[in-house]
Structures are given as C-alpha cells and as structure tokens.
With several copies, the nearest count.
Chain A
C-alpha cells in the first residue's frame, strides 16, 4: 500500500515539474517528443561493445535537467528503482561472455562486462530521457503532441482519462486504508478476509465516480479533446531544437568522439 501512495506521489512530482515555465518547458511538445524518439533510437542503436561512443549522449540529459530546473534527487530515485530490472538481465553477460575486450597492462576486461556496462548506461540514459520528457512537458501537452501526430482521438482521450483516474483511485485507496486503520486500532495492515470486499468496493465506487467525472467534463463542453490553452504554434526555435539535437545525436552515432579526444590526448602526450 505505501507503494501505491508513493507512486501517486511520484506522478504528482512530475506533474508539478511540468507546470514550470522554463526554456525547455516552452518548447513545442511535438518537437520534444520527436527529439526524445531520436535520442532513444540512437542510444539503443549503439552496438553492445561500444561503450565510449555512448558517453556523449549524456550531454542531452545534463543540459535539459539544468535548463529545465529539474531537481535531481527525485528523478534519480526513480531511475534507481527501475535499473535493477535491467541489471538483473544484463548481469548474465559477464557470466556468458568471457572474451577479453579491453586489454590493459594491468587488467583485462571481458566483453561481457563491457556489454553489461553498455546495457547499464543505455538503461540509465533511456530511463532518464523518458522522465525528462514527461517532467518538462506534462501529460496533457504530450497528448496534444500525439494529436498532431494523428493518433486517433479516442485513444488520446482514453489515455488522458486513465491518467486522471489513477490519482482519483489511488487517493481513494489511501483514504479508505486510513479509515480502516482508524477503526481497527492495534491491527497492522488489512486483514486478509477484508481484502475482497475492500477492492471490490473500491472498484465499483471508482467506477461510479469516474462516470460522474466524465459527465461533469461533458457538462463543460468536453467533446473528446483536451484543449490546452497556452499551446502556441510551432516556431523556428522549436524546429531548431529538434534539428540541432538530432544532428548532434547522429554525429555522435557516426563518430566516436571520446575515442577521438582520447587519441588526440594520447597523441599530444607522446
């Protein structure tokens, strides 16, 4: 149960972050969605042994996080929650792939470890990218971007309603649990025999409430489309944002910049 309330809290943090008004927040949502897409594609397209080439991708989250005023701690907490899954599967790589890849005088690193770290970094970057997208854009504006991309209205509406009702439902769970514990002092958690009626109850109630919410939306002229008022048109800046980042990603993809820097340095060193 704390799990649930916690997750609601997380949604709300991102919601509130999305309400800020920074340069990044003001960029057209469509361009942000597309940029995120390109970023993700480029990130995962790196081969499993290409470790150093991946690193310049980190500029994207760093620049966005600082420009958009995103607090680091809660975001990183989220990332850390998801990473174990990836680690779980990635960790098999060092076990199965023992070919030496990096050969240094004092240490040899196997391909398995390289690919493991590559998965890890990719995981980190992709998770971060998704969180940054939502934290700088917000659900409703993402929905408007999807609409521009011709995703059918019905699906978008469904998406947004689901999103709204998640808060409604989880909040209700929290309050019911509170009321429950108030009248069952001395008890820890919820007795097994009451789980059924509690969840069933919640489901039916939320259902009816959802209908009321939907009706009240309709009463205010809702016709299947969320209108986000402050959406401005797309400007040159927005397109530059998209093209600029995309160019950067493609360059990174084709040239291993860290290796270049490295050999340059080494060369100078010699």
Chain B
C-alpha cells in the first residue's frame, strides 16, 4: 500500500520569532515501519511531527504521505490517514465528556452511532480508562488525560500513527499496556519520545534529531546501545541496558 509511505525532503522550519527549529530534515518511512524519534529537549521532535499532519507547513522542503503532498488543500485526506497524539493532552480534549471526546473523530466521519459507540468503548478499554467515560476531561489526573488523548486517536483507526511522548505521565502499567497495543498495531507508527526503553522494545528503527537535523538514522539496536553517540546527543542508554543491579555489569 503505497499510501503508507512517508517521504520528508530537506525540511526547514523557522518559528515566527526567528527560531530555526528544523534545519533540513530528510527521511523516508515505508509501510509498516515503526520509527522512534529521539533527541534532546528542543531538538525539534514536536516541530517535526506537527509537519506530518499539516499543523505547521515547511518554509522549505516538502513532505508527502503516500503520494499526496502535505499542503493546505490535501489536509482532509492527510488527516484521515494520519492520527496524531500531541505532546499536550489538554490540547486534544475539548468536549464535555471523555466519551464525546473520543467519539468526536468517528462522528465527523459520519459513522453510524452504533459503530461510533463500539469504537469509543474499545479504544477506551484499550487504554484502560473505560470507567472514566462519563467524566469531563478537565477533571482528570495528568495520566488519565494522556490515556484519553491516546484513545481519541485510536478511535479514528488511522493508517499511520504519530505520537509525541505518548508514555509520559502514564503509570508503568498503562505504559506497558500501550507498548503492547502498539506492538500489535501493524501499520506505520512514528513515536517521538524520551523513553529509550520503549523505543528499544518497540521500534526497529531510530532517528536521532539534534538542533533540527538528523544525526543518525538506523536500526535501533545499534544506535541505542552506542554509548558515545547517545552521550553526544544529550541522551542515555535505555535504563534496561544500564548497569544491572544483579550482575553488576555496566
């Protein structure tokens, strides 16, 4: 299915105040790949992801999803294919109940109400917050909001899943549940995160960003275990790879 190929070409983006957040980013992601995007704070991860769903548009370079270039005109098509979880769950929850919020997307595609209900329930169940369905989102705890935000995107059944720090604020069990879920999701997924352990478990390929540029792009196992490289990019080995308290290796 060619429409799952994502091509990013020499992407440059400057925020209106002159901050150069992306400085020529190029990569190509093929169908079914699972990509971890890592990098220090301010490296440009969120900025990059926002380009993939057309929230920001590049100053230079181009992006295409499938064979469709991401432009203002093609937004409806793009957004139907790509589901994105933003870094800030508060930005993503805008209805009066969690249920309505998760149902918002499916309803926009005019699905019959039974189908909507099925989708809402299953997504809420997947992230483990079905019991919160009738509560207003602004009254949830930080992690509950995060889970709800993820559910809103799952309910849309996107072909490509883009997530900005999906595990932050989640408790370890919910994090584990999310990782399992993502493992079972066979479509393309792109995950920006500081959770190296998740990348290690989940993504076969990793892209390291630094100062708006791609520093490395390759197999996760190789990259994430390269102490020097990681150190250089303001990162660390996954915790699971660091000194083991049992055998004492470093």
A221 and B80: CB pair below 8 A?
Answer: yes
Which of B80, B83, B105 is most buried by chain A, counting CB atoms within 10 A of its CB? B105
B97 and A218: CB pair below 8 A?
Answer: no
B113 within 8 A of partner (CB): yes
B79 and A219: CB pair below 8 A?
Answer: yes
A201 and B94: CB pair below 8 A?
Answer: yes
Q: Could you tell me the distance between the alpha carbons of A225 and B152 in the complex, rounded to whole angstroms? A: 18
- Known A-B contacts A178-B91, A197-B95, A212-B91; the reply to A185 vs B79 at CB < 8 A is yes
A19 and B94: CB pair below 8 A?
Answer: no
* Mask: chain B, 91-102; 1 = CB below 8 Å from A; 0 = not: 111111100100
B92 and A179: CB pair below 8 A?
Answer: yes
**Residue in B107, B109, B138 whose beta carbon sits within 8 Å of that of A201 in the complex:** B138
B59 within 8 A of partner (CB): no
Interface of chain A: mostly helix, strand, loop or mixed: helix
B103 contacts which chain A residues (CB < 8 A)? 229
Residue of B whose beta carbon sits closest to that of A232: B113
B86 and A212: CB pair below 8 A?
Answer: yes
Nearest Cβ in chain A — how far from B15, in angstroms? 11
Nearest Cβ in chain B — how far from A222, in angstroms? 6
* Mask: chain A, 178-192; 1 = CB below 8 Å from B; 0 = not: 111111111100000
A9 contacts which chain B residues (CB < 8 A)? 16
- A-B contacts besides A15-B136, A186-B76, A209-B90, 13 pairs, CB < 8 Å: A140-B100, A168-B90, A179-B93, A183-B105, A197-B94, A201-B95, A205-B138, A208-B138, A212-B91, A215-B53, A216-B91, A220-B108, A222-B104
19 contacts between A and B (CB under 8 A): A164-B94, A176-B94, A179-B92, A179-B93, A182-B53, A184-B105, A185-B75, A185-B78, A197-B95, A201-B95, A212-B55, A212-B91, A216-B86, A217-B94, A219-B55, A220-B108, A221-B80, A229-B103, A229-B113
Q: Which residues of A contact B (CB under 8 A)?
A: 9, 12, 15-16, 18-19, 138, 140, 164, 167-168, 171-172, 175-176, 178-187, 197-198, 200-202, 204-205, 208-209, 212-213, 215-223, 225, 227-230
